[in-house]
């Protein structure tokens, strides 16, 4: 039986102190488990990339080409930053970089917009239509990029191409039967080249955005409708904030993939892209493999990596801001 004296003494002393659990080992309280599980992947990446990155940087400060490497290897010498000066002062290089930036911006914008539209439509169709569309997209995603390039080269061919024939059927104009889509590099790259790359990028983006849209709480959408928001306002103020993390991830990945695109353009132009079709990926192939200018190709690779890292830094900063706002 508790007395008043006992109650008064227990209240004055306060609650009994809770002992902190003792941490033992790297798995104590689960604090270091994520880092321990990530360690094998980090070691594998370092083991695979360390030597190639070292050789890339080492070649960038030398004057090495096929002749010097095979015939007279002693002529390969360190030239400091002369290789960087030679590449960065080349107008052709900056023309390729600007073309790559414009081309990448077009690809990312159109692919993200089309993917969002298709993902929204998938939310409004029946199950069998949704399953059919997703299955077809999986098959599209499984087709190699080189095969896609060959298919689109045939579709847009000036001799019996399917696109030209459909354009003739719609317009009735005989000139469409032999229209050469590749005569003008601007049309060939920004229309046909963009079409083949966007075609291959849509499956991943559509499936990812559709999965992200399914995570939007229905209660929020219903509350927005009750508050008088129209569909566009509900999409802008409810859906977009919820799926913003995936939008950032998909946009960053799309930029990386599209900026260094090679196989589609290489195949589309029958393994010999003309100067007007060269993006930084094909230009790097031309300098490093075709012309065997290994040192200059190494410099171009480093510049290319630094450009992509700049985008990744921006992406990481945005993700950190999103994470801070959600706390």
Looking up tokens 């260094």, which residue turns up? 260
For residue 68, give Cα distances in angstroms to 71, 231, 285, 302.
Answer: 6, 65, 19, 22
| Token pair recorded at residue 254 | 């799309």
Print the SS3 string covering 137-159.
Answer: HHHHHHCCHHHHHHHHHHHCCCC
For residue 287, how many other CB atoms are within 10 A of its CB? 24
Domains of the chain: 91-326 (1.10.3720.10)
For residue 210, give Cα distances in angstroms to 116, 205, 213, 253.
Answer: 8, 8, 5, 17
| Token pair recorded at residue 64 | 């090495």
- Please give the average pLDDT of every successive group of 10 residues along the chain, which has 327 residues: 49 54 53 82 90 90 74 73 91 94 95 94 90 91 90 91 91 88 93 94 93 89 86 88 88 89 91 90 90 90 89 77 65
At 69 the pLDDT is 63
Looking up tokens 């098959």, which residue turns up? 139
Report the alpha-carbon distance of residue 125 to residue 137 in Å, rounded. Answer: 16
- Kindly report the pTM of this predicted structure: 0.82
At 222 the pLDDT is 86
Chain length of the chain: 327
- The interaxial angle of helices 91-122 and 240-259, nearest 10 deg, is 140
At 9 the pLDDT is 47
């Amino acid at each position: 039986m508790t007395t008043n004296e006992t109650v008064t003494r227990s209240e004055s002393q306060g609650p009994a102190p809770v002992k902190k659990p003792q941490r033992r080992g790297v798995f104590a309280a689960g604090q270091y488990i994520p880092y321990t599980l990530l360690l094998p992947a980090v070691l594998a990446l370092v083991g695979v990339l360390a030597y190639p990155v070292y050789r890339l940087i080492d070649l960038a400060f030398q004057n090495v080409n096929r002749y010097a490497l095979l015939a007279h290897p002693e002529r390969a010498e360190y030239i400091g930053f002369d290789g960087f000066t030679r590449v960065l002062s080349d107008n052709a290089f900056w023309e390729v970089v600007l073309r790559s930036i414009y081309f990448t911006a077009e690809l990312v914008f159109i692919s993200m917009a089309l993917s969002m539209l298709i993902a929204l439509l998938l939310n409004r169709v029946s199950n069998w239509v949704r399953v059919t569309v997703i299955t077809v997209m999986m098959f599209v995603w499984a087709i190699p990029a080189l095969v896609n390039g060959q298919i689109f080269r045939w579709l847009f061919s000036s001799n019996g191409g399917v696109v030209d024939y459909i354009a003739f059927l719609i317009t009735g104009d005989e000139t469409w039967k032999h229209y050469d889509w590749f005569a003008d590099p601007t049309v060939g790259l920004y229309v046909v080249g963009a079409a083949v790359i966007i075609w291959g990028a849509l499956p991943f983006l559509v499936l990812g955005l559709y999965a992200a849209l399914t995570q939007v709480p229905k209660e929020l959408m219903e509350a927005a409708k009750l508050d008088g928001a129209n569909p566009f306002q509900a999409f802008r103020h409810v859906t977009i904030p919820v799926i913003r993390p995936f939008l950032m991830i998909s946009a960053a990945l799309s930029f990386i993939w599209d900026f260094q695109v090679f196989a589609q353009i290489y195949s589309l132009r029958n393994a010999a892209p003309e100067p007007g079709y060269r993006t930084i990926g094909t230009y790097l192939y031309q300098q490093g493999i075709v012309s065997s200018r290994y040192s200059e190709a190494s410099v171009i690779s480093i510049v290319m990596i630094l450009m992509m890292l700049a985008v990744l830094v921006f992406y990481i900063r945005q993700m950190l801001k999103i994470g801070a706002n959600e706390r």
